[in-house]
Structures are given as structure tokens and as C-alpha cells.
Chain A
């Protein structure tokens, strides 16, 4: 039993050493923006939509910590409420992608055949189409709303998640533990859900975080173009777009949301990459 305990402790030290300070900073930033976004209504922020025409582009002060924007709205409050829409879209869209794409990818990788060819073909078509143009066209057609935006970005993410899930399933379904399960009389559903899914979840989770980062940027780009979250609801992208008009007078109005977005995307990427690095060699070793 002594050897068993030793081994577990060794594992833990290896893991924390590999993660590093940057990883924890990224985790800290993600927790911070999530906390303020969720608690925005409870925390004593001024309204993000109340305009004060006398205080346009006010500098940093105790009243407005990060100043006000071109319409005299509190910049910090807009950043916090902007985090809400950015994160809502940034999380919900990849969830759509990971659920649909993951399921289709696993089915394609497990059953192969014509079904797989069809799925891979349609995924290639969707991937070949410039995603922002498609998003622009659909938003213009269906109208601007957070729901539409989430659905579009979610569907655009499906092929990428499908590929990740299919590749992982392809490699795993040749493994002998799948054949062993079949030899023990397991059904297809059981093999997919109990044998393969726990293995596929690891690469999918890592890719999910990268997906969040990509979606936040895409949402920002669409909002910057005025086709994302409808005003006056703030979002980081639309704030950058509005700040563009006063770049010469008050560049911070564009830079503050840009930096916030940059830090958030960087954090998601860092965490995603670290998780992938942690899961990859483990999979290879087993």
C-alpha cells in the first residue's frame, strides 16, 4: 500500500509543476470576468445605458473609474455588461458546436461508411465557406439578436468539433478495448457512450476552450461591424466600433474593450492549450 500512496503524491507534484504561473493568472482572469458578468446586477455599477451628455468622454475619476464613452455612459459598467453578452455568446455557441459536432463526429468515426463520407463532405463545404461572410449574410436576413448570433456562430463551429471528435473516435475504435467490449456483447450505444465518450471528452474539452476564444473574437468582429448584439446592449466588439470614432481624442474608448477582449481570449487559449498538453501525452502513453 505504501507504493500506492507514493505514486499518487508523485502525480500531483508533477501536475502542479507543469501548470505554471501563467496558467493560474489566466484562470484568475477568467474567474474574474465571469464573476463580474454574473454578479453585474448585484454589484454597485452605474447603468451601462444611462447617458450623461454633460460628461462625454470624461477621463478616469472616482465617480467613473474608467471614464465615460462618447455618449457619457460609464465605461467600466459597459465593459462589465459587455462581458455578459460576449461571454453568453462565447460560451453558448461552442456548446452548440461541441454537442452537435461531437455527436456527429463520434457517429461518423464509429460507423464509418457512407454516413461518414456524407458528413465529412458537408463539413468540408461549410469549412470552405468564409465564416464571417456567412454570418453577415444570415444576420442580415434573420435580423439582429443575441439568439440568432449564438445560433449562427454555434452552427459554424460544428464542422471543427466534428473533425476533432471523428479523429479521436477513429483512432480509439480500432483499440482492442472496443473489440473486447463487443466480444462481451455490448451494444453500439453502450460502446459509444461508455467506452468511447469518456476518451473523446478530453480532446473535445481542450478544443472547446479554444472554440470559446474564437467565438468571442467572431462575436466582437460582428458587433464591430454593427451586425452583432443590437444596441444599446453593450458588447466588447460594438464598444470598439463606437470607440473608433474618437480614436484621436480618446483612444482608450477603443483600447479598453480591446485589451479586455485580448486578455480574455488569451486566457481561454492558454487554459485550452495547457489542458490539451496535459491530456495529449497521457493519451499517447496509454
Chain B
């Protein structure tokens, strides 16, 4: 990886106080994203993906406690003052959320939302902002962009809304785009279009992207690197190709096996992962995946495996009984 590191997350932990006790949503995570590269973060619901993205944006709930360092372009976001942070967010960071229904303001027109964002952050007059909004909408593949400016979010379809949300996110030319399950709320046929749109804009603008999803199939063709999260920790991290060629962590394999396959015989049961993730307010002593793991040994229940480098470069995993290299499935 020759590109300079844009974002580096160092030893980040997020604690959420709940009535049932302290909930460790993100458990000492280290990640790096280079400029212009795409990182996929994969994991099931509640494994800390979204909290990690909020930690990067410094938009955690007020009561959450954050430890560690988030370096963006050499600046520690945790140490920035609120106005410097705001400026940085405006110029360099952007998010696209899961549900475009809630990520757009229901009572403002598309045009108002786009034009105001532009005029707020760029030195630009109304006519120029309008022209740029139309250009942005056209770029994200919205037909008749001029008419759309006058419409409200509820007048558009889900896919269109997500395109508008992407246009707003791209409006200030961010260096890093965080896409938090951008296609989960959408029709399967629209999913590919939105993902292709994100990938195209990411390449064209040379921005870095973090693609958060629970679907390993989505990250397969569209990311440079993948981090698999489980119970708040990164359990395996590798360049995408290497990961799919030789996954080492049983959880990653189980996740991949749980994707329905078109060529599977009809009525074949889906190999779901049995059980549930551990209660995050009662952390386990050993590996948090051990109760659900087929390969779990006595040591897995006593000791927590740490993320360590595999035989191949840049491939990290946290497991005492890693899969044999040949065990990987081809994506």
C-alpha cells in the first residue's frame, strides 16, 4: 500500500453506560484507511460497526466514552476543538446512512437541502449553488434533476432518495466517505446500482471510503481491504482478495457460508450461525466467538486471542485455531 494513510484508528474503545451496566460497543480497534482506498467493515447486527463509524466522526451519543486515537490527515480528532472539528467535517468527511427515509429532512425540498449545504460550506452564490446541485444530482444518476429540486423526499423512491443522500454527501468533495449499510433498506435490484455509483464516484474523486455492511458479498468486489468485526473487536483483517482466498477466522467463514447461494440445490438449509452474539454488557473471558465456534478448544474459553499477523503480509486474524489456508472459499 503506497498511498499515504488518511485515517488511522488507534486502539479505539467506545463504552456506553446502560441501565444493565457498561456496554463496550467497540473494543480496542485498530484500522487504517489510505487515501483513495476502500475499506469494508463487515459484521452482524450489534457488533459495533456503526458505533465505530460514529467514533470516527466524533458523533457518538453524549454519554458514550471514547478512548484511543483517531488520526485524520495527521490531526487527532479527539483533541480538536468543536469549531475546528466542524470545519474538518464539512470539508473532509461525509456519511451516507442506511435508511434514506430518515437521513433526509422530510419537510425540506431536495433543492433546499442541497443548496443550503453548498452555500453553508463553500463560497458560492445562490445561482452557482443551484447549478452545482443540478450537476450533482445528474452525476448520481437522477433523471430530470431540475424538477427534483422542487420535490420533497417522500415524492421520490427509495433508490432515488439514497442517490440524493449520496449527492448531499458528495457536495463538499469529502476526502473520506463513510457509507453505513447504504443498501440495506433498498431493493436488491437497486443495491448493485447504488454500490456501483459509490464505487464510481469514489474512483473519480479519489476519495477514501469505508463501506459498512453485514453482507460479505457486497464487499467482495468493491473494497481493497476488509475488516471483519465481532462483538466490538476486529477479528480478521486482510486485503479483500487475500481474505476470500484464504480466510483464517472461523467467524468469517461462517458469515460467508450464511449467504444464500443461487447455485445451491433447492430446499437446502442455509448454514446459519447458531446462537447469538455474547451480551456486550457481560464480556466473556475467552474468545467472544467461542460459544458459537465449531473449532473452539479449551483455550478459546480461557484466553482472548489477539489480532496478529498471519503468514501472509497484511493479513491479520485473532484466533487460536485458524482455518487451514486451503479451507477458504472462493467468492
**Is B193 in contact with chain A by the CB < 8 A criterion?**
no
> How would residues 108 to 123 of chain B score, 1 for a CB under 8 Å from any chain A CB and 0 otherwise?
1000000011001100
B47-99 contacts to A (CB < 8 Å): 54, 57, 59, 62, 86-91, 93-95, 97-99
**Is B211 in contact with chain A by the CB < 8 A criterion?**
no
CB-CB under 8 A for A199 and B59, given A187-B86, A190-B120: no
Question: Which chain B residues lie closer than 8 Å to A186 at the CB level?
Answer: 86, 120
B143-157 contacts to A (CB < 8 Å): 144, 147, 151, 153-155
CA distance A195 to B117 in the complex (A): 11
CB-CB under 8 A for A202 and B107, given A180-B168, A286-B153: yes
Question: Which chain A residues lie closer than 8 Å to B86 at the CB level?
Answer: 185-187
Q: Are A179 and B95 in contact (CB under 8 A)?
A: yes
Question: Which chain A residues lie closer than 8 Å to B87 at the CB level?
Answer: 185
CB-CB under 8 A for A286 and B89, given A1-B147, A179-B95: no
Residue of B nearest to A4 (CB): B147
Q: Which of B59, B107, B116 contacts A183 (CB 8 A)?
A: B59
Residue of A nearest to B152 (CB): A286
Question: Which chain A residues lie closer than 8 Å to B57 at the CB level?
Answer: 182-183
Question: Which chain A residues lie closer than 8 Å to B103 at the CB level?
Answer: 175-177, 179-180
| A: number of interface residues (CB 8 Å) | 26
CB-CB under 8 A for A184 and B90, given A4-B147, A175-B102: yes
Kindly provide the distance from the CB of A210 to the nearest chain B CB, expressed in whole angstroms: 21
Question: Which chain B residues lie closer than 8 Å to A140 at the CB level?
Answer: none
**Is A285 in contact with chain B by the CB < 8 A criterion?**
yes
CA distance A99 to B59 in the complex (A): 30
Q: Which of A176, A184, A195, A282 contacts B121 (CB 8 A)?
A: A184
Name, among A182, A199, A283, A286, the residue most crowded by chain B CB atoms within 10 Å (CB to CB). A286
Question: Which chain B residues lie closer than 8 Å to A4 at the CB level?
Answer: 144, 147, 151
**Is B254 in contact with chain A by the CB < 8 A criterion?**
no
Residue of B nearest to A200 (CB): B107
Q: Are B154 and A286 in contact (CB under 8 A)?
A: yes
**Is B13 in contact with chain A by the CB < 8 A criterion?**
no
**Is B217 in contact with chain A by the CB < 8 A criterion?**
no
Kindly provide the distance from the CB of A75 to the nearest chain B CB, expressed in whole angstroms: 46
Q: Are B105 and A195 in contact (CB under 8 A)?
A: yes
Kindly provide the distance from the CB of B82 to the nearest chain A CB, expressed in whole angstroms: 9
CA distance A112 to B93 in the complex (A): 26
Q: Are B91 and A185 in contact (CB under 8 A)?
A: yes
Q: Are A185 and B144 in contact (CB under 8 A)?
A: no
Question: Which chain B residues lie closer than 8 Å to A282 at the CB level?
Answer: 106, 154
Question: Which chain A residues lie closer than 8 Å to B26 at the CB level?
Answer: none
Does more than half of chain B's interface fall in helix, strand or loop, or is it mixed? helix
Kindly provide the distance from the CB of A91 to the nearest chain B CB, expressed in whole angstroms: 25
> How would residues 264 to 306 of chain B score, 1 for a CB under 8 Å from any chain A CB and 0 otherwise?
0000000000000000000000000000000000000000000
CB-CB under 8 A for A185 and B107, given A179-B95, A180-B97, A180-B165: no
Question: Which chain B residues lie closer than 8 Å to A7 at the CB level?
Answer: 155
CA distance A217 to B124 in the complex (A): 52
> How would residues 9 to 50 of chain B score, 1 for a CB under 8 Å from any chain A CB and 0 otherwise?
000000000000000000000000000000000000000000
Q: Which of A194, A283, A286 contacts B101 (CB 8 A)?
A: A286
Q: Are B107 and A184 in contact (CB under 8 A)?
A: no
CA distance A182 to B88 in the complex (A): 11
Residue of B nearest to A198 (CB): B107
Kindly provide the distance from the CB of B28 to the nearest chain A CB, expressed in whole angstroms: 24
Q: Are A194 and B93 in contact (CB under 8 A)?
A: no
**Is B198 in contact with chain A by the CB < 8 A criterion?**
no
Residue of A nearest to B143 (CB): A1
Question: Which chain B residues lie closer than 8 Å to A184 at the CB level?
Answer: 89-90, 94, 117, 120-121, 168-169, 172
CA distance A182 to B61 in the complex (A): 12
CA distance A176 to B182 in the complex (A): 13
Q: Are A183 and B93 in contact (CB under 8 A)?
A: yes
Kindly provide the distance from the CB of B222 to the nearest chain A CB, expressed in whole angstroms: 22
- Selected A-B contacts with CB under 8 Å, 21 pairs: A1-B147, A4-B144, A112-B62, A176-B98, A177-B103, A177-B104, A177-B106, A179-B59, A179-B103, A180-B97, A180-B165, A183-B93, A183-B94, A184-B90, A184-B117, A185-B87, A185-B89, A185-B120, A198-B107, A199-B105, A286-B153
9 pairs of A and B residues whose beta carbons are closest in the complex:
A185-B90, A286-B106, A185-B89, A176-B103, A183-B95, A185-B86, A198-B107, A176-B97, A176-B102
Starting from the known contacts A4-B151, A182-B57, A185-B89, 8 additional A-B residue pairs (CB-CB under 8 Å) come to A7-B155, A112-B62, A179-B59, A179-B95, A182-B59, A184-B90, A186-B120, A283-B106
